[in-house]
Structure 1
């Protein structure tokens, strides 16, 4: 490659000597730039979703290839966020596909120092047994003056920011049906 070829490969030289005087078109492109492709170009489909982190409800585009989530970006069609996501929302891909995401049940026995793996059915049975026991021991039919209460003070619910709006709605309905009155969500605190 001669000195002339080398100089003519500079974007500023192409800008000054070519038709693209503003440097926003062909003068600014390089061979590397021409090879670049958007990371969502290979997606099979785009699924509209809502950010799971807080109660704002920012829109997200979830890009899927071969049945797996490959990218999550802000939805420009969303009237709430107009394509923007906060740092937590931008990390949604890590929430769904991150290598540190737990996908098994871990249990630490009372006074235990180590976590052990449980199968899901065993864990669900343990939770159900404890909810029923706490509901029975904390149940209040009526107050001191005989007015009906029909509630339990045996447990409470605190929803988390990684639950989406639908999951938090279902938690609220479940705990209300169980008689709980202390029902809150992390996004409101």
Structure 2
């Protein structure tokens, strides 16, 4: 027969099999009724933390096509299940109600941001890249053929991983840019 003492954690700690109070003695009835978000997930997707170039492994728990939890992946040889504070909070990166999900554009000399269609924004970027490439194009340096542009430069950041930096280097080199650098080398 249970008494009011049975609901008291100190009593359970002193009389039960958990004298240090780190297990069953510390659990309340309410705790016993709680189900974790990870236990109810429909699937678990392996991912990589987006914040820095370390590449910590993450497990993304999905229920009804919504992210319910993100945790470190213990199978990752890089992070072995651990995440830094930013990585631990990365769920808010994709689920925050204040997350901007549209392209924002402020016209020259404008004071307000406006929404822009993604296709229109991509066309504007491509046009500006091609115009900068053409404007800064240098075919010869003296009598030496160089075929390069001085109108485009790239400075990669520490949040990019090796693969992204590699692809950026290939892209900018193919466009003729020679000023290609990465924050890690500076």
TM-score bracket for this pair, using the shorter chain length: 0.7 to 0.9
Report the alpha carbon displacement of residue 167 of structure 1 after superposing the two structures with TM.
4.4
Residues 182 and 43 of structure 1: CA distance in aligned 2, closer, same or farther (over 3 Å):
farther
Secondary structure, aligned partner of 2:151? coil
When structure 1 is superposed on structure 2, of 165-174 and 129-138 the one drifting more is: 165-174
Q: 2:72 aligns with which of 68, 71, 74?
A: 74
- Aligned pairs for 1:9-88 (under 5 A) are 9-88=7-86
Report the alpha carbon displacement of residue 166 of structure 1 after superposing the two structures with TM.
4.6
- Aligned pairs for 1:133-172 (under 5 A) are 133-144=131-142, 146-159=143-156, 166-172=163-169
Unaligned runs of 5+ in 1: none
Q: Tell me, in whole angstroms, the C-alpha distance in 1 between the residues paired with 2:36 and 2:182.
A: 37
- Deviations, residues 125-147 of structure 1 (Å, cap 9, x unaligned): 11111111100010122323x33
Unaligned runs of 5+ in 2: none
Instruction: Assess if the C-alpha contact under 8 Å between 1:52 and 1:164 holds in 2.
Output: no
When structure 1 is superposed on structure 2, of 106-115 and 163-172 the one drifting more is: 163-172
Task: Report the TM-score when normalising by structure 2.
Answer: 0.85
When structure 1 is superposed on structure 2, of 91-100 and 22-31 the one drifting more is: 22-31
Secondary structure, aligned partner of 1:32? helix
1:127 maps to what in 2?
A: 125
- Deviations, residues 71-125 of structure 1 (Å, cap 9, x unaligned): 2111111111111111221222122222222111111111111111111121111
Matched, 1:181 2:173: no
Report the RMSD for the aligned CA atoms in angstroms: 2.4
Secondary structure, aligned partner of 2:11? helix
For these two proteins, the number of residue pairs brought into alignment is 185
When structure 1 is superposed on structure 2, of 16-25 and 91-100 the one drifting more is: 16-25
Residues 72 and 12 of structure 1: CA distance in aligned 2, closer, same or farther (over 3 Å):
same
Task: Report the TM-score when normalising by structure 1.
Answer: 0.84
Q: Tell me, in whole angstroms, the C-alpha distance in 2 between the residues paired with 1:162 and 1:104.
A: 22
Secondary structure, aligned partner of 1:33? helix
